[in-house]
Amino acid sequence: ASLAKSLKVPAKPSLQVAVPAGTIDLYKAIGAFVQPIMETDGHDAAVAVVESCCEGFRKAVHAAGPDKEEFVKAFNAEAPGGEADPGIMAGATAFWAGIGAQVGPIMESNGQQAAVDYVNKVCDGFKAACHSAGPDEDAFKASLAKSLKVPAKPSLQVAVPAGTIDLYKAIGAFVQPIMETDGHDAAVAVVESCCEGFRKAVHAAGPDKEEFVKAFNAEAPGGEADPGIMAGATAFWAGIGAQVGPIMESNGQQAAVDYVNKVCDGFKAACHSAGPDEDAFKASLAKSL
């Protein structure tokens, strides 16, 4: 209850749709592929290729779910000749990953149908923006944001990133024996130290995973984090990273820094207030965000 509360995320929110990372990658790749088709075969032929690519992408996302190899296979199967253009495949894979980062939390809080609806809403908005904007990137971004009801310069909307539960559970497993042997205050101190070490490591490393691991280990007693906590922390770092990219792109670096701090504050407060009660933790985090 505490984490959800600090993040102002309703326990069962109506579907909030953010622009996923990777949208621009696929948009640019389609544009580069379609330009010569437009010049040789005309506007209608180019539009048909865009339509086919967008619908192939949608089908592949639904077919593959979170499995990257399945996505590549399914997207290739939708392409003429059974193999997608390499540039389009790279863009599509980036967009698929961006959608995947959003889908996990939506599925967890609202269920599978909400996740399916989210994918369709993003794919509808992407296709409509490609068709309406053509090669005008600013128009594409504006159209996509409008169709997803995301203000062009939104106030900071904070979603609960993937990986929060992983780190929460890992900290809980590590702290339980400390609580039993050394008492409540000692356990609270470990939680506090872990949360603040995580915050410092996220800021220090940015998007570099090796740097994150190094920085998080450096914050741990003895210079090496517990393996379970490291696994949870890395998952949480990746979840934050998936949110930070779009925030930085639309609102700038300071907004991204503020987002990281808000998530870390909410996470820590939820850990302290909920203790081992996972439902209370989720509610607190959603509320704080």
Tens-digit pLDDT profile for residues 218-272: 999 889 999 999 999 999 998 888 888 777 776 778 888 888 898 999 899 989 8
Q: Are 126 and 26 in contact (CB under 8 A)?
A: yes
Q: What does the pLDDT read at residue 15?
A: 45
Q: CA triplet 21, 115, 91: central angle to 5 degrees?
A: 30
Q: What does the pLDDT read at residue 158?
A: 57
User: Within a 10 A sphere around the Cβ of 131, how many other Cβ atoms?
Assistant: 14
Output the pTM of the full model.
0.52
For 232, residues 6+ apart whose C-beta sits below 8 A from its C-beta are 163, 166, 167, 168, 169, 170, 171
Q: What does the pLDDT read at residue 60?
A: 94
Give the separation between CA 224 and CA 167, rounded to whole angstroms. 16
* Positive or negative torsion for Cα 167, 253, 157, 119: negative
Residues in the chain: 289
Average pLDDT per run of 10 along the chain, which is 289 residues long?
42 52 90 92 91 94 90 93 92 90 78 85 90 87 78 50 89 93 92 94 90 94 92 91 77 82 90 87 81
Q: What does the pLDDT read at residue 4?
A: 41
Return the closest-CA partner of residue 46 out of 57, 37, 33, 56: 37
Residues linked to residue 6 through DSSP beta bridges, in sequence order: 288
